[in-house]
A and B are shown apart, each in its own frame.
Chain A
């Protein structure tokens, strides 16, 4: 019983970190209606950024947030201007393939700069674990969980209560009407894309003490992020948190009881089952997956 409890608890923590990593993706999809296939590579460069700050400036990854997050915000803005915005009025294929090209480009620039070696940072507090009730947890996982939950609440508050959030929601509801009401829709898109990228930067700093970084690390994580985002309902922030936790728990339990290698297979099957029976995801808007998007 305690084993199962511990597995669920660990899954919950790791899942919340996966959720944090997926939030930018779901936010961008929800507003711009595009899937950024370079999302994993955004995570990869942000992880390299956090690693470099730790390695060369002697900071710890959590302090690196102060530099990585604004840098990723700027990077997202530049990418939006250069690649996303010119592709928005074209068939959705264009953005799919253009972001894919961007992903290949970023992966291979990282390969040239950093080689294929794995880099990681020393565990915080000497890798100590904490005891919470009957369970054990690594400090990094607990911090990740706290950040993910805080981030979800902050995002929801931002979308619900601030002027920017209202403008974003208006854009999602009806872009044309929003534009007629004086909302600068292209700027909302820009801010959302840059903000989504900044969220990936935050996730990267939280993940750096837990995972190694290498040029193709993005592919592993982006597949998980896609599953989470679809599971939770594309565009739903709370959905991403719930989806992430589901995936974390499924992965944790199946890798203990079946085999670690099959852990991933279970969540891809879970993903396909969701697609078959509830394509809108847990909290997504009904019919979203079955009507044409952006074309």
Chain B
């Protein structure tokens, strides 16, 4: 079982045009280069704002994909991990003066513990039952955060003082934020790339596709699933901390909302599940598009951009279930491996 077929499929040339599991492609390098240029170019404030959000969403979509795509653990409760990360680093900063540079790791660890507990509890559940349980967990967190006002500020929200300092991870320049968020995206991307080429990644695929066969081959499904969920939650929580440091305001009805959970899942679904490039493409297409439509149609047609988004989602799911990544690969004449 030791990856024999994988080795046999290694491409002859080192650089491939289109993204493939386990190797870096020209496409990915060019995209990364483009991102770096855009981040440091010092574009207008509005464009940079969209850029920062796009990087953040791409990172979060990748983080969700670790559990939802690779391990098949479709979660509609990732807002709970996002919120735990955001609130942990913010509470530590505002109430205890701990720098978010440390706080975000603590938030990530806490979220990973929550995710581990959740997966162990729901380990037996499959399909819709697992999905609904994650949704319920996120709702419990939302209601708790809303009502535990002494800790979270309740419905009034929780603000970080906008005094710029490196220690407090608050910056004036949007370029700094863009670079920071791009760093987050690249890190999560690299982790995903390493994961999908690793032995553990293969174990996740095996457990997702046929649990009985995987455990017969010596993979512990419970351990594999829990690990994927913990990693996914950890990365999501770090995204949550960064979100807090950029927007400087947390509101439980937004940070823990089901809508946010759905968004985490929908971006990878649109882009291509269980591929590294898919969630990035999903976020790179959807985030700027919805920002553009929102500013273009303004208040006159509130909801139009989301109506378009919903339609696109239905069409993509029914007719291009591999998402944007698979469609792009088809155009280029190649194929993306790993899409379920």
Contacts and interface: CB of A to CB of B under 8 A. Distances in A.
A63 B125 CA distance: 42
A292 B124 contact: no
A136 interface: no
B269 interface: yes
B124 A279 contact: yes
B50 interface: no
A97 B266 contact: yes
B125 A105 contact: no
Nearest to B306: A108
B301 A92 contact: no
A272 B139 CA distance: 11
Contacts of A109: 303, 307
A97 B304 CA distance: 19
A85 to B, nearest CB: 10
Q: How large is the interface on A (under 10, 10 to 19, 20 to 34, 35 or more residues)?
A: 35 or more
Q: Which of B135, B302, B312, B318 has the most CB of A within 10 A?
A: B318
A86 interface: yes
Contact of A272 (B74, B121, B304, B314): B121
B102 interface: no
A123 interface: no
Contacts of B74: 93, 96
A97 B302 contact: no
Given A259-B147, A290-B126, A292-B126, A107 B306 contact: yes
Interface string B291-308: 000000000011110110
B314 A230 contact: no
Contacts of B127: 92, 292-295
Interface residues of B, number: 43
Interface string A139-176: 00000000000000000000000000000000000000
Contacts of B301: 112
Given A101-B310, A105-B311, A290-B125, A86 B318 contact: yes
Contacts of B125: 275, 279, 289-290
B146 A279 contact: no
B281 to A, nearest CB: 16
B140 interface: yes
A33 to B, nearest CB: 9
B84 to A, nearest CB: 16
Nearest to B258: A219
A104 B313 contact: yes
B136 interface: yes
B202 interface: no
Contacts of B302: 111-112, 115-116
Given A100-B313, A262-B147, A112 B307 contact: yes
B213 interface: no
10 contacts: A35-B128, A91-B340, A92-B128, A97-B313, A100-B266, A105-B306, A234-B129, A262-B147, A265-B139, A279-B125
